[in-house]
Amino acid sequence: MGACSVKELPGIPAIHGIKTAVSISSSRNPDAYTLPDGSGQLAQRAINDIRLSDAEWKALLSRNEYKILRKKASEPRHSTKWPKGFEDFYQPGVYFCSCCFAAGAETPVYTSAMKFESNHGWPSFWTNVRGNVYEQRDMHRWRSELLCTRCNGHLGHVFRGEGLFISHGHPTDERHCVNSTCLVFAPAEGQELVKPTYNGLVF
């Protein structure tokens, strides 16, 4: 497969550093993905077809990717505004799971059509790509954790009952609070891939 590297988007600084054997065959068109017209479309369970040892994940992922995706850490609030991350990034395209991507697989988890500004301090989405994200209670049992169905990578948390669907006009009452580090962005117009540059503390 052809290698992908990060190049400059029009009007957007280049983010360097991706070297991968993944070729992009999933659609980059956000309109190609189903949007729910009522309830959300989180999967009920994991597929878990991408399985690596902890040592293999640690070797493949960056320090922060490993801590967040495999050990369930989080970025600080408002730490990943562009170009450090995707909190306030609204280019059209598709977001892949960065954990799957490091393992050589492309798993679209969100699209720009699902993204909105919530002012909560992390990238926010009102739904996910059907079948590729599921939820479970986190270790504290009071929050619902979002995970990639294919690699079980931790993405963030889902919140309900905030009433944001009323002010934003979404058909679901969900806010998917996702760490930028968990995402690789594939622009709709076919430019090269984009990863966040934030490398500060995570907790």
Active-site residue flag, 177: yes
Question: Which range has the worst mean pLDDT, 81-85, 142-146, 178-182?
Answer: 142-146
Tokens of 112: 């720009």
Report the alpha-carbon distance of residue 122 to residue 198 in Å, rounded.
13
For the residues 39-50, what does the mean pLDDT come to?
95
CB atoms closer than 10 angstroms to residue 77: 10
Q: Among the options 99, 148, 177, 182, which is catalytic?
A: 177
Structure confidence at residue 141 as a pLDDT band (50, 70, 90): low
What integer pLDDT is reported at residue 167 of this predicted model? 85
Match 């059509």 to its residue by tokens.
113
Q: Compute the residue count for the chain.
A: 203
2-29 pLDDT, tens digit each: 333 343 333 333 323 333 344 556 899 9
